[in-house]
Chains A and B, each alone.
Chain A
Amino acid sequence: MLGILRALGTVVSAALRKPATVQYPTEKKQLPHRARGFPTLLWDFERDEPFCTGCQVCARYCPTDCMTVTMRDNPKYAEGKSPRRKIVDKFFIDYARCMRCDICVEVCNFDAIVMDNTWRSVELSRYDRQELVMDLDALLKPSRTGQLKDPFRDAMGVAHHGWAPRKAEEEKEKVAAAEE
């Protein structure tokens, strides 16, 4: 009977521990900084336009083929307000197809797309599947309204060919040159 008594002892000692339940939705777990929700586009507040130029690299690398991107000429470039020659015209992501693999973030040349790491991007129940196809406004909304406070945009090693690491390098060199 010793084994059964040991089992009962384990069970009783486990009962005295604090339960591990997090009572969703009244309490929500704290999402880590790198939590991978669905992709969203970033808004460039300095120049009042999206970072995205519509170059279609992300759409080409997407394994599930869930993005549709088109580009147009940027009127602000003609006015001299922005260095981007082209800007995104239409951008559709089908959240029902996206598998959140993070490849689009990795290959973007302009650091324009990130994975939304808030609860909002995970609680996506809809009654109709068509409502999960997000257009440009819906994709820019979290960044524009300031909900997306702290996306995960650290340098992603050599695999990341984005614009920001190059810029950061150039800044560092400029600062080092200025110090000399």
Chain B
Amino acid sequence: MAVQPPERELETLDLYINVGPQHPATHGVFRMVLTVDGEVVEDCDPVIGYMHRGNEKLPENCDYRQIIGYHDRTDYLAQFNTEWTYCLAVEKLMGLEVPERAEYIRVILGELNRIASHLMFMGAFGTDVGFFGTSFMYTFRERETIQDFFEAVTGERMMYNYFRPGGVAWDVPDDFEEHARYVLDRVRTAIDDIDGIMTENEVFLARCRGLSPVTPEQAINWGFSGPMLRATGVKHDLRRAEPYSIYDRFDFEIPVGTQGDVYDRYLVRLEEMRQSIRIVDQALRQMPKNGPIMASGLKRTIRVPPGEVYARTESPRGEYGVYIVSKGGDKPWRHKVRAASFCNLSALRNMVVGNYVADAIIILGSIDIVLCEVDR
């Protein structure tokens, strides 16, 4: 008969560690109160709301062209994808048909923005794991190239305000295709660099392999979407499941993980970047040389017929949805944003409890949150 050691002989107190709003590891102003027993996290209490700016209420006073700027600022790493979702919603409601050339421009810019967002994830995630800024510099070098390309097309490096319901605002410059191919070459170098220092690195594997594995049932129950869901093994991508725009014309694969742990999420995002390069390549070849870039028959102020619509797209973080209720007129009655990061972040407690403090930071980093989306 084995003698059972007494459970907790020593009287120990749990420590409250405040991973506060200002901290180099939380991506934005996010607060996590961890209850820690030694090094193991017993409980985690996330506090959000530091970045709430009224992103759903203020557009009720804006007309449909002014709301595009709000979507830029909701997810500031994947602006084209958010603008696209909003434009899809308005186009569905109005029954607009977007011309071919505009669709191709949207696809190219949206996929390049996906690459830029994943590059930012690689940089920040590497810093969380402990690289001394190397991953950051490699990925930001190519993010600069992509942003320079966007600056040549739209004029801005970050808040583009370029898509409009019905098409895009103005046409692309003449050297669009060769500039895009140059950008793709540079991005391939960056992906190879990141692959070289992170994927096979034994220390990286030791930190991330097997950390907080998530089963497909858990992922669906917790409301995951995007790379978090695909890392668990569920092959769900809105570009395949409900093809919006012209995604049914492109040939690309959907990378899926096996265990749903942090390493799988990193691998899924790395592979997604490569698939995005494929899509951009095909789009550049198929794009029509001339053509209108805006649906015809539109006035300066768009008046939307009464109705409601929910449109969703696959943003780099997951499913980004826009729900608009219109009662006629040029301003929406209700404008709601379904942000991917908010739903992914709500499962933080389940994933963090039972792990070490150092791992809590890595798990938070692997969800790839953007606080502006979470708080809106």
Q: How far is the CA of A83 from the CA of B148 in the complex (A)?
A: 41
Q: Is there a chain A Cβ closer than 8 Å to B205's Cβ?
A: yes
Q: Among residues 34 to 71 in chain A, which have CB atoms less than 8 Å away from a CB atom of chain B?
A: 34-36, 61, 63
Given the contacts A34-B152, A157-B168, A99 and B294 also touching, CB distance less than 8 Å = no
Q: Are B155 and A11 in contact (CB under 8 A)?
A: no
Given contacts A20-B141, A20-B144, A157-B170, A7 and B197 within 8 Å (CB-CB): yes
The 8 A CB mask of B274-312 against A (1 = contact, 0 = none) is 000000000000000000111110101000000000000
Quick check: is A152 within 8 A (CB to CB) of the other chain? yes
- Nearest to B203 among chain A residues (CB) is A4
A111 within 8 A of B: no
Q: Are B65 and A36 in contact (CB under 8 A)?
A: no
Q: Flag if A115 contacts B294 (CB, 8 Å).
A: no
* Residues of A close to B202: CB separation below 8 A: 1, 3-4
> Which of B141, B151, B200 sits near A35, CB closer than 8 Å?
B151
Q: A157 and B200: CB pair below 8 A? A: no
Residues on A with C-beta less than 8 A from B65 are: 61, 103, 106
Judge whether B293 and A34 touch: CB under 8 Å: no
Interface centre among B134, B156, B296 (most CB of A within 10 A): B156
* Sample of 6 more A-B contacts, CB < 8 Å, known A6-B196, A34-B152: A11-B197, A63-B62, A115-B155, A158-B298, A159-B164, A159-B170
Per-residue contact bits, chain B 129-156, to A (CB 8 Å; 1 contact, 0 not): 0000010001001001000100111111
Q: Name B106-125 residues within 8 Å CB distance of A.
A: none
Query: For this complex, into which size category does the number of interface residues on chain A fall?
Result: 35 or more
Q: Give the size range of B's interface with the partner.
A: 35 or more
- The CA-CA distance from A99 to B158 in the complex, in Å, is 11
Q: Which residues of A contact B293 (CB under 8 A)?
A: 157
Given known A-B contacts A34-B155, A103-B161, A156-B170, A10 and B66 have beta carbons under 8 A apart: no
The CA of A32 and the CA of B148, in the complex, are separated in Å by 9
B171 within 8 A of A: yes
Contacts of B62 in A (CB 8 A): 63
Complexed CA–CA distance, A1 and B204 (Å): 12
The answer to whether the Cβ of B169 comes within 8 Å of any Cβ in the partner chain is yes
Q: In the bound complex, do residue B134 and residue A158 qualify as a contact, i.e. CB atoms below 8 Å apart?
A: no
Check A3–B69 contact: CB distance below 8 A.
Answer: no
Q: A157's contact among B152, B201, B204, B294, by CB below 8 Å, is which? A: B294
Q: Which of B69, B168, B296 has the most CB of A within 10 A?
A: B69
Which of chain B's residues have a CB closer than 8 A to the CB of A155?
170
Task: Give the residues from 24 to 75 in chain B that come closer than 8 angstroms, CB to CB, to chain A.
Answer: 62-63, 65-66, 68-69
Can you show 19 pairs from A to B with CB atoms below 8 A apart? A3-B200, A3-B201, A3-B202, A6-B196, A7-B200, A10-B196, A11-B134, A20-B141, A34-B152, A34-B173, A35-B151, A36-B155, A61-B65, A99-B69, A99-B159, A100-B156, A102-B161, A157-B293, A159-B164
| Per-position 1/0 for B64-89, Cβ under 8 A of A | 01101100000000000000000000
For the complex, what is the distance from the CA of A167 to the CA of B134, rounded to whole Å?
54
CB B131 to nearest CB in A, in angstroms, measures: 10
Whether B193 sits at the interface, judged by CB under 8 Å, is yes
Bound complex: CA A164 to CA B227 (Å): 47
Instruction: Please measure, in the bound complex, the distance between the C-alpha atom of A157 and the C-alpha atom of B292, giving whole angstroms.
Output: 8
Q: Taking the complex as formed, is B318 at the interface, i.e. its CB lies under 8 A from any CB of chain A?
A: no
